[in-house]
Chain A
Amino acid sequence: MNYIPPAWILFVGALLIPLLLPKARNWIVIVFPAIAFFYILHMHPGEYWKVSFFGFHLTLLRVDKLAKIFGYIFTIYGFSTGIYSYYLKDMRQQLASLIYMGGALGVVFAGDIITLYFYWEIMAIASVIIILARETKKALGAGYRYVLVHIFGGLCLLAGMVLYIKHTGSIAFNSFTLHSISTYLILLGILVNAAAPPMSAWLPDAYPEASPAGSVVLSAYTTKTAVYTLLRGFPGWEILIYIGCFMSIYGIFYALLENDMRRILAYSIINQVGFMITGAGIGTAMALNGAAAHAFAHIIYKGLLFMSAGAVLYMTGKSKCTELGGLYKTMPLTLLFGCIGALSISAFPLTSGFTTKSMIIESSVHQHLIWAWFILEVASAGVFLHAGIKFPYFVFFAKDSGLRPGETNKSMLLAMGILSFLCIFLGIYPKPLYHILPYKMESYHAYTSIHVITQLQLLMFSALVFFLFLPLLKRTDTISLDTDWFYRKGGRLLYAFFDWALNGINTVVDRFVMGLVKTLASFFSDFVANVALFLFVNLWLLKGVSGKKLEIKKETLYYDIKEDSIPVGIGAAISGLFLALLFLLR
């Protein structure tokens, strides 16, 4: 049996979209991810579609447990975003979303690095279209910067792959054991997509500028395919522990400063991906399983949070905390779903975060990584602070903004309902998720009385701090500078510097060259004239010409030579004179 790559199912859906009527298009983006899900469900592990390409033997489809768990969640989430965006009448976004999801499926089911790279770039292009489709000036600018950053990441990846293939002769995509410039470049390219600082600013810059449905789609795929690639290619690379821990705090720091609700959520993606990358870095079966499970749960609750924020933006046209507040009165269901997402991301008992994130933290304990464990616990407490309470509190409570938007449309509510159900289902009954985890390990039990009590202590005291120090957390209508400053402001400074330096050099060189040329030109033109005058004046004096006549003759000759208007005869005479002089002086 030769399966088709599941990515192609979504590509076929994308091809159908322009051919259909608007309502049918909305169904395509719901149905095709569902078809892909059931297709993946029935695929047996193995390698399929081995084709030859410029002398390389590509494996277009590799099915194993690690690929499948990401395949499941990518398609389940695709299905829910399809329902969420049922209101959408923009064909570009629908088309780009399906291609983007297809690209993500392509990456996780790619059997070699060349195939992976191909799908990787498809994702980059499709995601830019989703960002640009909002057609605001800000979206345009953010999309442009997004392209630049991802071109950089893509080039690192490509350069690393070329060097790797040249060095090892292999295009297989398994865990890299070689530590050299080639694998470092590949890692760097992947970390750009994982939004690891300092290459992280593209995420909070671009995702919040997309449309409500657009940012819901974007929130899941790019960073999580990067997590997949790290789990497959770089398990146990110690540097990932440091990067991951740093990300988990970095995301909280910026999320606490942010005023825009979708930007708060964007920063909390960085925070959550930090947990997963730490898991990849720890590299034990439990850590890798924890990272995969956490990616699975994270896509659901982060999607849910983006959906509720998107619903608020859709209904009110506002996304700043300073302009929102008091929406619980008119958007109670959106509030309920948003809170379920918020509790899940905070790993509250009975939600999916509790049953997945704890696996990563426990694996750090098993490896005696005290500081990593400590940072992850601090970050867990901080998550409740910035995403768990801050987001719902400032959007739905805090103050009465006077906005009375009413509940959002039914398709959005349905999508949020489905994801909310999954958050709680996986929190209460995580067995099905544990069952599909990729690596063999001892059975894991999240619900021990100690774990529940310590987690509740951690979270409730975080909540206490939030409300006790609320005056310190009051939102201000501000933005915060991130590392994009370096290429936004820095780029401009660089331009100004080169403008000053290069144009300065240009002016100096111009003056020097023009001055030299002028001097030389006048010297040489006068040189000929002076020699001619010397000869002729002496000749004329010998002939007895003098006075005014001599002056006129001198002047005429001088201008004739300067203006190159000497009659040929005179020229010939001068030449003759020179020759005569030469003969006499011999």
Chain B
Amino acid sequence: MNKRDFLERPETIRLLWRLLYITCGLTVVAELFVHRHGLFGFDGFFGFYAILGFFSCLALILIAKLGGLFLKRSPDYWDRDEEGRQG
């Protein structure tokens, strides 16, 4: 292995994490400068879209994870079946 790439260094990864937090923060702070009304009423509070983005993605991941328990199979699932049929 050659020496560690820029993106593989721990300090770079730490920097990227920081950038991610800062960007997230900035998108919320930016909302202070616009006057936003909710479209339906319940969505009018400050930072609604940040919360929506966060929790809907978390829910999607958890639901998919749960679904995976029932739906995931080994990659040779179908091939094995075909061999069984021939045999």
Contacts and interface: CB of A to CB of B under 8 A. Distances in A.
Mutual binders A and B: yes
B73 interface: yes
Contact of A373 (B23, B39, B61): B39
B68 interface: yes
B53 interface: yes
A253 B27 contact: no
Contacts of B52: 377-378, 381, 458, 461
Contacts of A467: 17, 20
Contact of A253 (B34, B49, B67): B67
A226 B51 CA distance: 35
Interface stretch (A92-100, A173-181, A184-192, A472-480): A472-480
Interface string A96-114: 0000000000000000000
Interface stretch (A14-22, A150-158, A446-454): A446-454
A473 B68 CA distance: 11
Nearest to A368: B40
Contacts of A259: 75
A347 to B, nearest CB: 12
A478 B72 contact: yes
Contacts of A477: 74-75
Interface string A222-265: 00000000000000000000000000010011001101000000
A328 B21 CA distance: 24
B30 interface: yes
A480 B77 CA distance: 10
Interface string B1-35: 00001011000000001001101100110110110
Interface in A447-495: 449-450, 453-467, 469, 472-473, 476-482, 488-489, 492
Given A365-B39, A453-B31, A492-B81, A465 B73 contact: no
Interface residues of B, number: 45
Contacts of B51: 461
Nearest to A361: B39
A213 B59 CA distance: 35
B72 A256 contact: no
A211 B58 CA distance: 35
A365 B36 CA distance: 15
A479 B30 contact: no
A257 B63 CA distance: 10
Nearest to A488: B78
B50 A457 contact: yes
Given A449-B34, A480-B71, A473 B53 contact: no
Name which of B24, B49, B85 has the most chain A CB atoms within 10 A of its CB.
Answer: B49
Interface residues of A, number: 52
Given A257-B72, A328-B7, A488-B78, A461 B60 contact: no
Given A253-B67, A450-B36, A472-B65, A461 B53 contact: yes
A449 B36 CA distance: 10
Contacts of B77: 479, 481
Nearest to A478: B72
Contacts of B33: 449
A476 B72 contact: yes
A259 B75 CA distance: 10
A370 B40 CA distance: 7
A385 interface: yes
A122 B16 CA distance: 50
A89 B17 CA distance: 46
Contact of B73 (A454, A458, A472, A480): A480
Given A381-B57, A478-B72, A457 B47 contact: yes
B45 interface: no
Contacts of B75: 259, 320, 477-479
Contacts of B39: 365, 373
Name which of B51, B54, B60, B67 has the most chain A CB atoms within 10 A of its CB.
Answer: B60
A460 B24 contact: yes
A458 B68 contact: no
A329 interface: yes
A382 interface: yes
A453 B47 CA distance: 10
A3 interface: no
A117 interface: no
B50 A257 contact: no
Contact of A472 (B23, B49, B61): B61
A397 interface: yes
Contacts of B85: 492
Interface of A: 141, 249, 252-253, 256-257, 259, 320, 328-329, 365, 368, 370, 373, 377-378, 381-382, 384-385, 397, 400, 449-450, 453-467, 469, 472-473, 476-482, 488-489, 492
30 contacts: A141-B78, A257-B64, A370-B40, A377-B56, A381-B53, A381-B57, A384-B57, A450-B36, A453-B27, A453-B34, A456-B30, A457-B27, A458-B52, A460-B24, A461-B49, A461-B51, A461-B57, A462-B54, A462-B57, A464-B21, A465-B57, A465-B61, A469-B61, A472-B62, A473-B61, A478-B73, A478-B75, A479-B72, A479-B73, A481-B73
Interface of B: 5, 7-8, 17, 20-21, 23-24, 27-28, 30-31, 33-34, 36, 39-40, 47-54, 56-58, 60-65, 67-68, 71-75, 77-78, 81, 85
Given A457-B49, A460-B24, 12 more contacts: A256-B64, A373-B39, A381-B60, A382-B60, A460-B20, A462-B54, A464-B20, A467-B17, A473-B61, A476-B72, A478-B75, A481-B73
